[in-house]
């Protein structure tokens, strides 16, 4: 949409063009919004898409996934919302446009080009930005990449293809590190993963779970450089990165590489509204309708801090596509004064690497005198881990789940049935353990 066709006022303005914005558009249409009453402003040059694809089939598939194939809302079982969909539905999409200021009191935004747009209802869906490690010497060298947006994905894909047979240093052992590391290996690039933690995915994986995935990575030829190794500097020649200097036990070493991917987390994009709204957990505090401390202003996805009813109202911020989808729909219904239940969310995470695919539902409290974990299976092909707190199963991790297993795991994590350690440990298989847990539903 051309800026000269844009109105100066809309009933609904969505700031941000990621997953949440796409699902907000979907919900607006489902709720019968009038045409020409919604504006979505995005700094990206493409219509909203399913962001998780960027670290998966976008990189390693043959042919690789590309737009328009994964526009929202295909990931959630909806139709593909290509740019023409927005035109057909009468939703204005303003792309390649930075928002330079937000005034929540007047529910107005100012674009980088100086245009001011006001709204009756403002939905903040600004997402998060990757941590860049700009504090490290050499961070401005050519050949250092992050992955968050479609343009990032295109650049990274081209770089990996150009470096087939060469070496990439992947900084980070979490989601992006694991998925990009696996994708790079499948693309024929030698991979060295560098992270300081004791094992992969430390915020979720137990040491037992991690060891099984790490074995797979090593068998695929990926070198794991972790257990205290901290990145100190990027080194290069003629302006191009040639290595990463790491420190462990006060000893410095340089890991040679031809390119670097930094995947060490993301920070919520809240700088434009931090001093205007009540904040918590690094995000915008919202109620059970996703409304902020200012009426008519909503925050969704990565930047929203909300209460989990099933966990006694515990406040949290969740960076996950499932929450982005659900919270966006909730905010739309609230803004349109449609009836709905208070927002609640079952924490859910998933990943696919190589020929592996895992899912997690529920809570993963740290092991203590009140909480323990039980692991069943050896990834041949299944593996199950259950978190039990106060004698209730509160979290379920499963590798290689069937559709029925997924449904069962979700039900268990939601209902939190009572279980004993003896019963779980006596299960002969993953199927047996799920059956034992299901008996308590």
pLDDT of the chain, 441 residues: tens digit per residue: 544 567 999 999 999 999 999 999 999 999 999 999 999 999 999 999 999 999 999 999 999 999 999 999 999 999 999 999 999 999 999 999 999 999 999 999 999 999 999 999 999 999 999 999 999 999 999 999 999 999 999 999 999 999 999 999 999 999 999 999 999 999 999 999 999 999 999 999 999 999 999 999 999 999 999 999 999 999 999 999 999 999 999 999 999 999 999 999 999 999 999 999 999 999 999 999 999 999 999 999 999 999 999 899 999 999 999 999 999 999 999 999 999 999 999 999 999 999 999 999 999 999 999 999 999 999 999 999 999 999 999 999 999 999 999 999 999 999 999 999 999 999 999 999 999 999 988
Is residue 427 a contact partner of residue 433, using CB atoms and an 8 Å limit? Answer: yes
Q: What is the dihedral of CA 433, 435, 437, 441, to 10 degrees?
A: 170
According to the model, what pLDDT value does residue 330 have? 98
Strands 304-308 and 356-362: unpaired
According to the model, what pLDDT value does residue 208 have? 97
Q: Containing H/E element for 198?
A: none
Among 204, 215, 153, 142, residue whose Cα is nearest residue 180: 153
According to the model, what pLDDT value does residue 6 have? 76
According to the model, what pLDDT value does residue 5 have? 62
According to the model, what pLDDT value does residue 2 have? 46
According to the model, what pLDDT value does residue 229 have? 97
pLDDT tens string 93-106 = 999 999 999 999 99
Among 343, 341, 337, 357, residue whose Cα is nearest residue 398: 357
Is residue 280 a contact partner of residue 245, using CB atoms and an 8 Å limit? Answer: no
d(CA 28, CA 3): 22
Adjacent-strand bridge partners of 168: 191, 259
Triad 43, 45, 50: Cα angle to 5°? 90
According to the model, what pLDDT value does residue 106 have? 97
d(CA 233, CA 160): 22
Is residue 69 a contact partner of residue 82, using CB atoms and an 8 Å limit? Answer: no
Encoded tokens for 258: 């031809």
């Amino acid at each position: 949409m051309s800026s000269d066709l844009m109105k100066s006022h809309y009933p609904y303005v969505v700031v941000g063009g990621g997953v949440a914005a796409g699902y907000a558009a979907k919900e607006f249409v489902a709720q019968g919004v009038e045409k020409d009453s919604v504006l979505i402003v995005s700094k990206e040059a493409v219509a909203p898409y399913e962001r998780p694809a960027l670290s998966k089939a976008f990189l390693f598939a043959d042919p690789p996934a590309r737009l328009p194939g994964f526009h929202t809302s295909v990931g959630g079982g909806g139709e593909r919302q290509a740019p023409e969909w927005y035109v057909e539905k009468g939703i204005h999409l303003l792309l390649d446009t930075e928002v330079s200021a937000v005034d929540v009191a007047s529910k107005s935004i100012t674009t980088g080009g100086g245009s001011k747009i006001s709204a009756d209802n403002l939905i903040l869906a600004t997402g998060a930005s990757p941590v860049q490690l700009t504090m490290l010497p050499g961070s401005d060298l050519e050949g250092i990449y992050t992955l968050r947006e479609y343009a990032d994905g295109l650049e990274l894909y081209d770089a990996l293809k150009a470096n087939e047979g060469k070496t990439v240093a992947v900084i980070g052992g979490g989601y992006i590190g694991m998925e990009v590391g696996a994708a790079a290996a499948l693309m024929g690039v030698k991979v060295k993963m560098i992270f300081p933690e004791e094992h992969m995915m430390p915020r979720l994986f137990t040491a037992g779970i991690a060891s099984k995935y790490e074995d797979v990575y090593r068998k695929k030829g990926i070198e794991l450089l972790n257990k205290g190794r901290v990145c100190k500097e990027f080194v290069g020649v003629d302006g191009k990165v040639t290595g990463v200097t790491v420190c462990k036990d006060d000893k410095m070493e340089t890991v040679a590489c031809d390119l670097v991917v930094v995947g060490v987390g993301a920070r919520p994009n809240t700088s434009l509204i931090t001093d205007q709204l009540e904040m918590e957990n690094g995000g915008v505090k919202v109620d059970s309708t996703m409304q902020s401390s200012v009426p008519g202003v909503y925050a969704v996805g990565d930047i929203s801090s909300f209460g989990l009813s099933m966990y006694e109202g515990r406040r949290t911020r969740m960076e996950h596509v499932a929450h982005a989808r659900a919270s966006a729909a909730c905010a739309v219904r609230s803004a349109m004064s449609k009836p709905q239940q208070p927002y609640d969310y079952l924490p859910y995470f998933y990943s696919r690497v190589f020929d592996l695919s895992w899912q997690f539902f529920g809570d993963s409290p740290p092991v203590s005198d009140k909480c323990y974990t039980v692991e069943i299976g050896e990834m041949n092909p299944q593996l199950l881990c259950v978190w039990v707190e106060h004698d209730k199963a509160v979290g379920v991790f499963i590798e290689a789940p069937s559709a029925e297993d997924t449904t069962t795991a979700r039900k268990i994590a939601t209902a939190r049935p009572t279980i004993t350690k003896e019963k779980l440990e006596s299960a002969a298989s993953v199927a047996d353990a799920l059956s034992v847990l299901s008996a308590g539903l």
